[in-house]
Amino acid sequence: MGKRKPTSTNSLNREKLIDFCGMVYAVDILGGRWKLLILYKLEGRTLRFGELKKHLPNITDRMLTLHLQELEKNGLVGRTVHADVPPRVEYHLSPSARQLAPIWKQLEGWGQTHREVMEKRAEYLIETAGVQPIEK
């Protein structure tokens, strides 16, 4: 993403915490709104930039470019440039990223279940107490 000053609190905390444990390291690499979703959409296929963008509603070109660069730098996405005119660039998961597939599938299942629980909770609150849920 953007460059941080090396002396910023954010940078100093990152440097101290990155070696704390594997979870902190993983969250640092995979954190953000789009990274896991990008990896998820690349599972089992190779996509060009435009194709990938179609699978990610509302992501900007800049945000997709920045995240793809970070994921490539961190060894999670491979990038193949074909010497065509116009140039053709394709993205695919690295072997390391493919190891994450069971985790994001489990997250997807958890997310669906949790959403249903929260929807039922909201319905219950409306029925029993007349409480309206907070809109997003």
> Could you read off the pLDDT of 11-67 as tens digits, one per residue?
676 677 777 788 888 888 898 899 999 999 999 999 999 999 999 989 999 999 999
**Distance between CA atoms of residues 92 and 71, nearest Å:** 11
**Distance between CA atoms of residues 84 and 123, nearest Å:** 55
* Among the four given CATH numbers 3.40.50.1390, 1.10.357.10, 1.10.10.10, 3.40.50.11740, the one describing domain 33-129: 1.10.10.10
Q: Which tens digits make up the pLDDT trace of 114-130?
A: 999 999 988 888 888 76
